[in-house]
Amino acid sequence: MNNIHLKRGLLVLALTVACGGVCTAAAPVSPAKQALVDQVLKLWNIDSIGLSMLQVPVADAVQQARVMLQGRAPADKRDAAMADIVGEARQFMAEATPITRGSADKLIPATIVPLLAERYTEDELRQLIAILESPVKKKFEAMLPEMQKTLGEGVAADTRAVIDPKLQGLKEKIGLRLRAAVTP
């Protein structure tokens, strides 16, 4: 019995004991099906979801700080403050990433594994594995950053004349509202 199977078995036992027999245990999963579910999880890289959940608010906080400092602080102080803020954000990510990854590793056996085992047949899991292992999928995913960059640059160039003045106007309005809110 491998480590994942042992952890899953202990988790089911602990949940059953904790529920006092009131909870219904998940239907037993054959070792062959469990191996397929484990392979899907390995290929899917699901623990990156926690990392994404961290990155969005941290990036938003850094962006908000950048906007708050723009036009309010001299360039040298603004740049120094942003360097400190970015450093703090990186340190936060370095500290928080193992925590979220550990949480995902702890919760996946109790949340995702039963869903996959319950809702997919062994044949469907094999098909899913074939998709996840597909060289065409890997090639497409490798192209995503280039395609996003190319499209982003194209959209920016195409809309710059219209969007930049509107964006600047929005920033000015926000700045005025913030100044009005913080001035006595």
Q: Over its length of 184 residues, how does the chain's per-residue pLDDT go in tens digits?
A: 444 444 444 444 344 333 443 344 567 889 999 999 999 999 987 767 778 888 889 998 999 988 888 878 888 888 998 999 999 999 999 999 999 888 888 999 999 999 999 999 999 999 999 999 999 999 998 998 899 888 888 888 888 888 888 888 887 887 787 777 767 7
CA dihedral 38, 40, 41, 45 (to 10 degrees): 150
d(CA 66, CA 79): 9
Find all residues with CB under 8 Å of 114, minimum gap 6, and list them. 26
Q: Domain map of the chain by residue range?
A: 30-133, 135-184
At CA 126, angle to CA 125 and CA 128, rounded to 5? 60
d(CA 61, CA 48): 20
Give yes or no for a contact between 43 and 138, defined as CB atoms under 8 angstroms apart.
no
Task: Look at the pTM and tell me if it is higher than 0.85.
Answer: no
Terminal CA-to-CA distance of the chain, rounded, Å?
68
d(CA 66, CA 74): 13
Residue-level pLDDT at 28:
84
Give yes or no for a contact between 105 and 39, defined as CB atoms under 8 angstroms apart.
no
d(CA 49, CA 41): 12
